[in-house]
Amino acid sequence: MAVAPTQDAKQYLRPEAVAKLRNMEVRARLVVEGFITGLHRSPYHGFSVEFAEHRPYMPGDEIRHIDWKVYGKTGRYYIKEYEEETNLKTTLLVDQSASMGYASPGKLTKLAYASYLAASLCYLMMRQQDAVGLALFSESVDQHLPPHLSRAYLTRLLAALEAAKPARTTGIGPALHAIAAQLNRRGLIVVLSDLFDDPATILAGLKHFRHRQHEVVVFQILDPMERSFAFPGGAATVFEDMETGETIQTDPVQMRRAYQTAMTEFVTTMQRDCRAQGIDHVLLDTT
């Protein structure tokens, strides 16, 4: 059962406070230990006594889990996996397309916010002895680190998140299909994105995961200005698409209501379509 965070812990709900911390691992540790302390432990944690299967050794795996008897027979390194270890493997999918680089004054970029959230989830799951992987994507899969469980691998995941930079155009649907095709074992898929793409192609990619029996959670991350469109009016303002460079000149006040209606419809469509597929949709903004 989760407990309410203390007043001291609540400071880590503020993204600007997290941004001041020294590195990604410190950020993740303080966020997790600061206000998720009361979260119940996962039922899928640790190495149980029930052996499940072998898999080839991968860089970053704990040496203590190598089956030396198999090595003596084959000359190859294999890792013992146990039943509880195979129950939950999580892959975090972080959108690093150019639109994720947007930030209104005084706020973090959406990519920074997504990276802090992803880092915190990595730290939490590793602490629970659950395997975690990461995929960074834009119009294609830019980097894919399959799920593993080790302290060294956590460092590698956090380093990848620290280095993530917004670049290139969005192609969420094709990227999701590409990642789904690479995941052979069902697990938990966590998508962190503004979802600024065609909803139908996004849904098709998400359905690919569900078809392969993955559980899916979508965190749609938006800047508060993207939701309110509360730009000052009274004069024509030029808006530029961060991915295509296309510009439009308009008075924000004159189009605010129409924009807000369109944004509400967009978010509602994503929520409804995700729910219909048994996918959790969580709307966040960078405040």
- Both tokens of 225, joined, read 């200005």
What is the mean predicted confidence (pLDDT) over 40-53? 44
Averaged pLDDT score across all residues of the chain: 82
**Res. 1: pLDDT tops 80:** no
DSSP 8-class letter at 167: -
Measured distance CA(109)–CA(286) in Å, rounded: 8
Instruction: Say which residues have a Cβ less than 8 Å from residue 101's Cβ, sequence separation at least 6.
Output: 109, 110, 111, 165, 166, 242
- At 264, the pLDDT band (50, 70, 90 cuts) reads very high
pLDDT at 198: 94
CA-based angle 32:83:72, to the nearest 5? Answer: 110
- At 67, the pLDDT band (50, 70, 90 cuts) reads confident
What is the mean predicted confidence (pLDDT) over 219-231? 95
pLDDT at 6: 44
Higher-pLDDT residue of 102, 50: 102
What is the mean predicted confidence (pLDDT) over 229-247? 87
Instruction: Say which residues have a Cβ less than 8 Å from residue 16's Cβ, sequence separation at least 6.
Output: 106, 108
Question: What percent of the chain is modeled with pLDDT above 90?
Answer: 49
- At 169, the pLDDT band (50, 70, 90 cuts) reads confident
Are the CB atoms for 97 and 243 separated by under 8 Å? yes
What is the mean predicted confidence (pLDDT) over 52-79? 80
pLDDT, tens only, 101-136: 999 998 999 999 999 899 889 888 887 788 899 999
Q: How many CB atoms lie within 10 A of CB 99?
A: 24
pLDDT at 17: 62
Measured distance CA(62)–CA(81) in Å, rounded: 12
pLDDT at 24: 67
Measured distance CA(219)–CA(190) in Å, rounded: 7
Pairing of strands 78-82, 89-95: unpaired
> Amino acid identity of 100?
M
Q: Which of 211, 16, 8, 44 is nearest to 104 (CA)?
A: 16
